[in-house]
Homo-oligomer: A and B are copies of this chain.
Amino acid sequence: MSAATREKLLEGALRTLTEQGIAKTSARSVAAAAGVNQALVFYHFGSVDELLSEACRYGTEQRVARYRERLAAVSTLGELLEFGRVMHEEERAAGAVAVLGQLLAGAQTQPRLAAATAAGLSLWVAEVEQVLARVLGASPLGGFVDVVGLARAVAASFVGIELYEGVDAEGARRALDALEELGALVAALDDLGPVAQRALRHRLRRATR
């Protein structure tokens, strides 16, 4: 039992990761953020690594579930871009994506953390994949891009930009604006006339061979 303490520690770990970074995240700092004794980290999780791994899963599942309904309603690229902007605003406040960045940095040399972080990221990837398949399927680009790969690229890039925001908020804003613009341009391909669409598809077929 004592799920309450476990949860306090998980929340404390997420808060510490966003506020202090992976370098200053320790059993003591997490326990302080959770308001409990530091020995409980080892009683409940065995090690700091294991706590962070579980916190990654806990936090990611929580965030993904928060957006699942809204994501399911997205059916055009334009809607997806708008959703991305809204989500970015919400997550910046919660720092949820920044957590993945910190874990990703820490995971480079810790196999246990690497597995947990990869699993956490794949939750996001799975969601993005579904939406992209739906959105791109209806576009002239449908069938020409590997949705599985693109979903991974989108998720990883999002984390990179979130980290970038921590050192250059203005630059990150411009980066996101530019991507939104670029997305809107791709969305505009949907509205091309039938002749232009045919010419475009013909070109795309040749480019992918």
Given A146-B174, A207-B185, CB of A163 within 8 Å of CB of B200? no
In the complex, chain A residues 64-116 whose Cβ is within 8 Å of any chain B Cβ: 98, 101-102, 104-110, 114-115
Which one of B109, B171, B174, B188 lies within 8 Å of A204 (CB-CB)? B188
**Contact count band on A:** 35 or more
Complex Cα distance, B196 from A189, in Å, reads 11
Complex Cα distance, B175 from A159, in Å, reads 14
24 A-B pairs, CB-CB below 8 angstroms?
A: A22-B23, A23-B106, A98-B108, A104-B167, A105-B106, A107-B166, A108-B166, A145-B181, A149-B175, A149-B179, A150-B182, A152-B172, A152-B174, A153-B157, A153-B179, A156-B161, A157-B157, A157-B160, A184-B208, A185-B207, A185-B208, A188-B203, A189-B200, A195-B195
